[in-house]
Structure 1
Amino acid sequence: MLIIKQLKSAPLSTITIIAAIILFICSSTRHLLFQSSAFEMGIYDQVTYLISQGLPPISSFLEVHHLGNHAAWSMYPVALLYKIYPSVYWLLLIQAICLAIGTIPTWSLARHAGLNKKLAFAMAIVYLLYPVVFNLNLFDFHPEVMALPAMLGAILAAKLDKTLWFCIAIIWVLGCKDALSLPIAGMGFWLYFYEKKRLCGAIALFAGVAWFIIATQALIPYFKDGKPPGGVGRYRYLGGSIQEILLNMFLRPELVFGKLISLKTVEYLLLLNLPIIWWLAPKYLTPLIAASPVFAMNILSKIDAQRDLIHQYSLPILPFLLMAVISTIAD
C-alpha cells in the first residue's frame, strides 16, 4: 500500500503519459507513411476485426485460424474495441500504452528493493530507454507487448505475496503468445529456488509447462489441421517436431553447443547487456535464470531477427534484466 500511495505523488505518472503519447505518435506516423507491413499489422488488424464481427478469425495471409497461429487468445478482449470503431490505431494505441505503463511496476519493484524515489524513477527511465521498447513500438503490432507490464507486475505480486494478482498476471501473459509459457516457467523456477517464493514459483512453473504442452500439442494443431507451431521450422536442424527438437538437444549436443558457443551468441549477449552493463554485477544475475529459456530459444534459432533488439523476440528477457539491475543498485 505504501508503494501505491507514493506512486500517486511521483512524477512517474507524467513520464508514463508522455511516453505513451510519444510512442503512439511515432507508430501512427510510421503507419501513415505506409511503412507498416501486411504480414504483421495486416494479420492482427484482420483477425481482430473478424473477432469483433463474430466471424471465424482466419487470416488471409496465414490461411489459418488465429488460435492456430500463436494461441494468443488475448486478442479476443482487444476485439471489443473494434466493436466501438474498427481501426488499426486501436492496436497501436494499446501497444503504446502497454509499453509505457511498464514504468509503473518497474518503479514499484525498485522501491520494494529499497531504492529511494530518485533511483526508482531513474529505473523507470532505464526501462523506457532500453532499445527494444522503442524499436518494437515501431515494428507493427505484436500481442507480446501486452504481456510486458503483466510480467513485471507478476514479479511484483510475487514479491508482495499477492498470489491472486500473480495468477491473474501470468494467465494474461500466457494468453499473449504460446512461447511466453517458457519465460513464465523460467520465472517459476527462479521464484521457487532463488527468491524462496514457493507458492508463486510453483504456480508459475506448473502453469508455464502446462500451457506450453496444451498450446503446442493440442490447441495449435487443432486449429492448424494437425500441423505443428510455425516456429518449429526455425529449429529444423534439430528435428521436425517439438518432441524431436527436445530429444536431439540431449542426443546430439554438438548441434546445440555449435550454436551456443559462437560469435553470434557473443554479439547477442553484448546487444542485450550493453544498454545496462554499467549497473550489472555478476552476483546479482540470478533473475536471468528465468530468461534463460528465451535466450536459448533465440540463440538456437536459424532466424537472425531473434537475436536483435528490433523485433519482439528479446522482449521477455527485459523484465529479468531490470531485476538484475535493481538488485545491483540496491546493494
Structure 2
Amino acid sequence: MPKAPRRAPVQPRPGPAASAPRAAPSRTTLAALAALIATYAVVYGVVAVVKYRYYLFIDIDLPIFVQATDQALRGSLFSSIRGMVWLGDHVSLVLFVLAPLYALFRHPLTLLLIQCVTLALGAWPVFALARRELQHDGLSLVCAALYLLYPALGYCNLFEFHPEALATTTLLATIGALAASRFVPMVVFAILSLACKEDVALPVGILGLMALLTGRSRRPGLTLIGLALGSLVLSFGVIRPALSSAAAEYGRMYGRWGAGPVQIAGHLLAHPFEAVRAFFDTPGDPGDAALKRAYWPQMLGPFLFLPLLSPGTLVVALPVLAEHFLSYRNEQHWMLFQYTALVTPVMAAAAVRGYATLVRRISGAPITAAVMARPGRARSAAFAIAGAALAASLLCNLLYGPLLRRGWLAVPQSSETRWPNAFDRTLRPYRDRMVARVPKTGGVVAAFEFLARLASRPETHSIHHIYTGYYTFSRQPYPVPTGVVAMLADIGDQRLADYVGPNTAVRLRQLMDQNRLRPADAAGDLLLLTREPADTVELVRVGAPPAAVPRRVVFDGQLAFTGSTMLDSATTAGGLLPIQTTWRRIARPDRYFVVQFVVRDAVGEPRFSLLRHLGYLLYPEAIWPADTTVRETYRMIVPNHLPPGAYSLGLRVLWWRTSDDYTVSKSDDPRLAGTKELVDLGRFTVTEPPHR
C-alpha cells in the first residue's frame, strides 16, 4: 500500500494583528514607560509609608503576612495572630520567595513597598501586549497609563498586604508571554502566579483552556492547564488537608448553596439561573445587590468598557468572579479590597484587545505598523479612543478613585483611610509612646493598628479574638492566651465596637488576671497594660470619696451619676484633659452603658465628641458592688486642631444590649430634657502647644 502522505504540523492561526516583528521601543518610549512605573511606585509608596506611620492599617492581613514571613526566616510556619499554620489558611508559597528580600530589612514596610513596586511593574506587560496589538508605542504607553490609573488597582494596593496582589503583575506577564509565544517566560510567570494563592489556579487553568480553544499551539495551553491542576492538587490535596484547622471555616461563605463542594456544585448545576443572578443581585439584601450592580460599571468604566469587546479574554476571570459573587460576604462584591487582584489583570488585557478590536472594526483593516504610522482611519480612530479612555479613567478616578475621589458620587468608602486626619495626627505621639513601652520579649495582645509593629514576635495576638471569643471566620472558641506581657489597644475605638459582645468584658478580665496585667499608661481610651508594672495609672477606683462637684442623676433606674472633678482647667491642643466622674450602681443592670463626652465652644456649638465604654470595658458596671461609689479617671485627648479658647464639657449616657445601636438613656432630671440628656461637667481652656 502506498504510504499515506505526512500531515503538515498544525500552525497557530495568525491573529488579526499579526505582522512582521517590530523594532525594539525607542529609548524615549522606554524612558516614558519607566517614568510611569516609577511615578506610580513612588506615589503609592509614599501613601503606604504615611498610612503606616499614622497607624492607618487597621485590619489583620498585613500583620498575618509580616509574622508569616518573619517566622519563615526562623524556621516556623505557625502564625499566632491567625492561630494556625498559615499555609493551612492560604497556600501563599510566594512568601518563601519574598523572605530573602524581607530579611534585608525586617519591617512591615518592606512587604508594603514590594507590593507597590510589583503592581507598578504590571504596566510593562500591559505595554508589551498593547504594542503587539496596536503596533504603536504612544498608544501602548496610554494603555500602560490606563492600567496604572485603574481604581481597583489602587484600592488593592492600599488595603493591607496580600500575596495575591502580586499575582496581578505575574498574571499579566503570563498573558503577555502566551500572546508572544514565549514559552519559558510564560511558565516562569505562571508558576510565580500560582505561588501567590491557591485560587490563582482558576484563571491560569482557564487561560490554558482558552489557548487550546483559540487554535494556538497545544503545548502552552496544555502546560498552563497542567500547572493549574498541579497547583490545585498541591493546595487542596496535600497542604490544606495536612495543615488546615477549624480556626478557618471558609466553606461557610457558600452555605447558601450547600454544605460542601459536592452539594454546592449540584445546586449550581440544578439552578444555573440562580447562580447567574448572584452576579447581579442578592435576594433579601438590597444593599448588597446595589454593591453587585455597581461593581460592573466601576470595573469596566475606567477602561471605557473596552473589555466587553474581548469576551474570550474576559472569560478567564469568570471562575474568580464566581468565587466572589457566590459568597455571602459583601466585601467580596466591592472594588475596595484585595478581591479584585485576579480580576484586574484580565480586565487590563481584555481592554487592550478590545481596543484593538474596535480600531479594526472602525478601519475595516488589520492593524499593522505601517497603517498606524501614517494618517488614516485606523490611526485617527485609535487616537480618538485613547483620548476618550483617558478621559473616562480620569472621570472614574474623580468619582470613586482611591486618591482623587472628590465626593461627587455617593459610593462606599474603604474601611481604611488613605491619609491621616487631624485626630490621627493627635494620636500618633501617644501611640508611639506606648509602642515604645511594650516589653521587648514576651507575648502581646494588641488592636489592629498596632499588630503589624508587633508581628515579628512569635506570640502576638489580635484583641478582636479576645472580644469575640472565637477565631476569625470560625466557630472555634479562642482560648484566652497566657504568657502575655502586654496589652495595647484603643478600647474606645468604634472599629472594635463590632466585635464587642456580652462576654467581652469577662474575657478581658480573664486576660488581665491570668497574665497579671495592670494599667501602665493611658491617654483617652488608648491603654497599655503590662505585667505588674512598677507604676500604675488609675482607671477605675471602687470605694472612692465623693466628687468635688457632686450631682446626682439616675439613668434608666439602674445607674446613678454622682458627680465629677475636672483635675485641670486648662490644657493645650493635642494635650490631655483629666476628668474624674463618680457613679453608683443602684440596680442590677440589664444593659451595657456607654458615655459620650461632648466638647462645646463658648457659644454652645459642639466642636468635638467621642463615644466610649464606661469603665473602659475592663471594669463594667455589672461587676461593680451595689451602692458603692466607683470613680473613673479619664484622660481625654484634646484634638490638636481645636482652636485656642474657652470650652465646656458635657456627658451623655447611652446603652445597648445585643447590637451596636445605641439608645440615649433617660434620666430622672427633667432639666436635661432640653439638652438631650447632656450633663454639664464644667469649663476648661485650650491653649496652643509650645511647638506651634
Q: Are residue 143 (structure 1) and residue 169 (structure 2) matched? A: no
SS of the equivalent of 1:141 reads: coil
Shift of 1:304: 1.1
Q: Are residue 45 (structure 1) and residue 71 (structure 2) matched? A: no
**Structure 2 partner of 1:296:** 322
Structure with greater helix share of residues: 1
Shift of 1:175: 0.6
C-alpha distance in 2, partners of 1:18/1:261?
36
Under a length normalisation based on structure 1, what TM-score does the superposition of the two structures give?
A: 0.91
Q: Are residue 131 (structure 1) and residue 151 (structure 2) matched? A: yes
- Of the structure 1 ranges 161-170 and 239-248, higher mean CA displacement relative to structure 2 is found in 239-248
Alignment partner for residue 303 of structure 2, among 252, 257, 276? 276
Shift of 1:281: 5.0
Shift of 1:195: 5.9
Taking the TM superposition and a 5 Å limit, the aligned residue runs for 1:155-174 are 155-174=175-194
Q: Which has the higher contact order (CA 8 A, sep 6+)?
A: 1
Structure 1 residues 300 and 7, CA, compared in 2 at 3 Å: closer, same or farther?
farther
Query: In the TM superposition, what whole-angstrom CA distance separates every residue of 1:243-292 from its partner, at most 9, and x where no partner exists?
Result: 3322332245465245245245433222221222353454x222001111
Taking the TM superposition and a 5 Å limit, the aligned residue runs for 1:217-256 are 217-225=237-245, 230-253=249-272, 255-256=274-275
Taking the TM superposition and a 5 Å limit, the aligned residue runs for 1:1-331 are 5-6=24-25, 8-10=27-29, 11-54=32-75, 56-194=76-214, 196-225=216-245, 230-253=249-272, 255-260=274-279, 262=281, 263-264=289-290, 265-282=292-309, 284-330=310-356, 331=360
C-alpha distance in 2, partners of 1:230/1:159?
38
Shift of 1:176: 0.3
SS of the equivalent of 2:328 reads: coil
SS of the equivalent of 1:196 reads: coil
Runs (5+) with no aligned partner, structure 1? none
Q: Is the 8 A contact 1:192 1:201 kept in 2?
A: yes
Structure with greater strand share of residues: 2
Q: Which amino acid aligns with 2:166?
A: M
Query: What RMSD over aligned residues (CA atoms) do the two structures have, in Å?
Result: 2.3
Structure 1 residues 132 and 260, CA, compared in 2 at 3 Å: closer, same or farther?
closer
C-alpha distance in 2, partners of 1:286/1:94?
32
Q: Is the 8 A contact 1:99 1:149 kept in 2?
A: yes
Structure 1 residues 103 and 228, CA, compared in 2 at 3 Å: closer, same or farther?
same
Under a length normalisation based on structure 2, what TM-score does the superposition of the two structures give?
A: 0.45
**Structure 1 partner of 2:466:** none
Q: Is the 8 A contact 1:70 1:229 kept in 2?
A: no
C-alpha distance in 1, partners of 2:342/2:23?
25
Q: Which amino acid aligns with 2:50?
A: T
Q: Which has the larger radius of gyration?
A: 2
Q: Is the 8 A contact 1:234 1:302 kept in 2?
A: yes
Query: In the TM superposition, what whole-angstrom CA distance separates every residue of 1:121-150 from its partner, at most 9, and x where no partner exists?
Result: 000010011111111121010001221111
Shift of 1:25: 0.7
- Of the structure 1 ranges 249-258 and 18-27, higher mean CA displacement relative to structure 2 is found in 249-258
Structure 1 residues 102 and 230, CA, compared in 2 at 3 Å: closer, same or farther?
farther
Structure 1 residues 288 and 195, CA, compared in 2 at 3 Å: closer, same or farther?
farther
Runs (5+) with no aligned partner, structure 2? 1-20, 282-288, 361-692
C-alpha distance in 2, partners of 1:235/1:115?
45
Q: Is the 8 A contact 1:72 1:143 kept in 2?
A: yes
Q: Which amino acid aligns with 1:32?
A: R
Shift of 1:328: 2.6
Of all paired residues, the percent bearing the same amino acid is 22
C-alpha distance in 2, partners of 1:130/1:305?
19
Q: Which amino acid aligns with 1:216?
A: F
C-alpha distance in 1, partners of 2:228/2:118?
22
Structure 1 residues 213 and 160, CA, compared in 2 at 3 Å: closer, same or farther?
same
Query: In the TM superposition, what whole-angstrom CA distance separates every residue of 1:290-322 from its partner, at most 9, and x where no partner exists?
Result: 111111112111111111211111221122222
Structure 1 residues 70 and 161, CA, compared in 2 at 3 Å: closer, same or farther?
same
